[in-house]
A and B are shown apart, each in its own frame.
Chain A
Amino acid sequence: MKRKFTKFIGDSVSYTFLACALVFFMFPIFWMLMTSIKQPQDTFAIPPIWVFKPTLQNYIKTFIEGAYYKYLFVSLRVTTISIFVATVISTLAAYATARFRFKGKTGLLMSLLVFYTIPGIAYAIPLYMLYGQLKIQDTPLGLMIIFTALTIPFSTWVLHGYFVSIPKDLEDSAMVDGCTKLGALTRVVLPLAAPGVASTAILTFITTWNSFLYPAILAGSRTKTLPVAVAAFITDTRIEWGQASAVASAVILPVLLLIMFAQRFIVMGLTSGAVKE
């Protein structure tokens, strides 16, 4: 009896805590989405207006009238291509580190982690000068190059872990049947590693989609990405918070969709990215 009672108290405390945590972690996102669909005159109302007739005015003002759709397209295009290229390159590299014996392999794997952890600003200054000399600042190509490069260390590291966990026997028999290494990779290993590759790609997609420092430094007016467009609002003297919320929501909505439909993959990528068992 006493035991049941303590359990009940414990559970109540736990779930109350969890409920408070949910409110704390969800509220800012909820508030931003709400602000983005409010009438402009309600944006700054205190006490806040909770019930209102939603409007898409802020989205129309920015994405259509302000031509922000261009930034959306830049973000989508640059992110998708970078992640595609980086995933292909990383898959090849990770297959080599997982399957071939060669000198300096441990060092290579470790340096991947070091590159991944070095702060962005340490690469940024020379890249900024180099991009100026090569005349690739403010071009989609310039952004794709840096995004691809920043993605490869993490991707290769995570994919290496997936490939190691796949039994080798299947490839061996495929190669006995006359398959090349590349053939074994694409026909035997990749189908088995598909969930791992997908989770790595989704996770790096989100990181690249969200990133700010590099596009802020290396992109100009022609290749502004959505996060840079959001940040530009805060330099205005009178910040249009309604419109800023609409653009900010557009950055977060695709991520919300990915969490809704690919949560399992994201968790898998995050946990295997941090530790290897």
Chain B
Amino acid sequence: MISKSIRKRIETFQFLAPAILVIAVVLVYPLLSTFRLSFFSYTIARGLRFIGLKNYLDILNDSTFYTALQNTFVFTLIVILVEMTLGFILANILNKDFPGRAIVRGLLMVPMLASPIVSGIMWRFMYNPDFGIINYFVTQLNLPAQVWTGDPKTALLSCMIVDIWQYTPFVMLLLLAGLQSIPKEQYEAAEIDGAGAINKMRFITIPWLRPMILVVLLLRTMDSIKIFDQVYALTGGGPGISSLTLGVYAYTKGFRNFFLGYASAISWVLALITILISIFYIRSIKLPERE
């Protein structure tokens, strides 16, 4: 006679087992292997050799790594600033009722759901200095033509523009959902008290929206720190290393030069940064009630 509590445990386990099994084998195991590999040197000629902390010490002395780190942070800071601002403005506009609002929202959703690698390639075509449509528009406005992705000065900026294009709609959509959850009575009451637009924004909209703003901010930060597809398609990190980000650097080290140990160490640094941010993220959202 099996006790009731054990039967219950078996039942719970049956439901969870497939998910836990797949996650353990296909995600946890590789993650731990990456950690292990980061203490090894791997080259095709010599295979695996244990080298202790050497990869991490090398990272500390690797000027390319610092450039990639700096690029990643500059990239993240600027795109998030622009995306949050533009997304907030657009969300407020779309929060009003006007004919065709659903269609506009649908159209604005296209960039964020478009394949990132395809977006990068699409923009690369438009950025082309010789036949790209962007330089055509720029010269029509009597501004000097740019080399965009081909110039170390503008390469990272070109990548930022694409990210802003792709993810501002995401920010907009989530902030819009936040705005729509604010009870209308709040505004009506404020109007009776004679509050103007600025005060309504300051005392109702912003405080109500604050949790959502935080969530979007953290989600976007995690995503832009690990940016890969768009940069890979637009510049591959170049020219030189002018637009190299951590994700692209890890990929290049691993799958172009096949320094798998070193690439693993870079990946772990990158993973640690996002895990740290995700802890803040988890603490900022309310976990659903236990039952």
Contacts and interface: CB of A to CB of B under 8 A. Distances in A.
Interface in B211-226: 211-212, 215-216, 219, 222, 225-226
Classify chain B: how many residues form its interface, as a range: 35 or more
B129 to A, nearest CB: 11
Interface in A25-58: 25-26, 28-29, 31-32, 35, 43-48
B89 interface: yes
A122 B107 CA distance: 34
A248 B286 contact: no
Given A255-B114, A271-B177, A126 B270 contact: no
Given A100-B15, A213-B228, A230-B121, A115 B136 contact: no
A212 B281 contact: no
B38 to A, nearest CB: 9
Interface in B164-211: 165, 168-170, 173-174, 177, 181, 197, 211
A125 B260 contact: yes
Interface string B105-129: 1111111011111110111111000
A206 B113 contact: yes
Contacts of A211: 115
A95 interface: yes
B81 interface: no
A171 to B, nearest CB: 12
Given A110-B282, A149-B23, A212 B116 contact: yes
B109 A263 contact: yes
Contacts, number: 282
Given A113-B278, A209-B115, A25 B285 contact: no
Interface of B: 8-9, 11-12, 15-16, 18-20, 22-23, 25-27, 29-31, 33-34, 37, 86, 89-90, 93-94, 96, 98, 102, 104-111, 113-119, 121-126, 130-131, 133, 136, 165, 168-170, 173-174, 177, 181, 197, 211-212, 215-216, 219, 222, 225-226, 228-229, 232-233, 247, 250-251, 254-255, 260, 263-264, 267-268, 270-271, 274-275, 277-278, 281-282, 285-291
Given A25-B110, A124-B267, 5 more contacts: A109-B287, A122-B31, A146-B26, A252-B115, A276-B286
Interface of A: 10, 14-15, 17-18, 21-22, 24-26, 28-29, 31-32, 35, 43-48, 89-90, 92-93, 95-102, 105-106, 108-110, 113-115, 117-130, 145-146, 148-150, 152-153, 156, 160-161, 164, 181, 206, 209-213, 217, 227, 230-231, 233-234, 241, 244-245, 248, 251-252, 255-256, 258-260, 263, 266-267, 270-271, 274-277
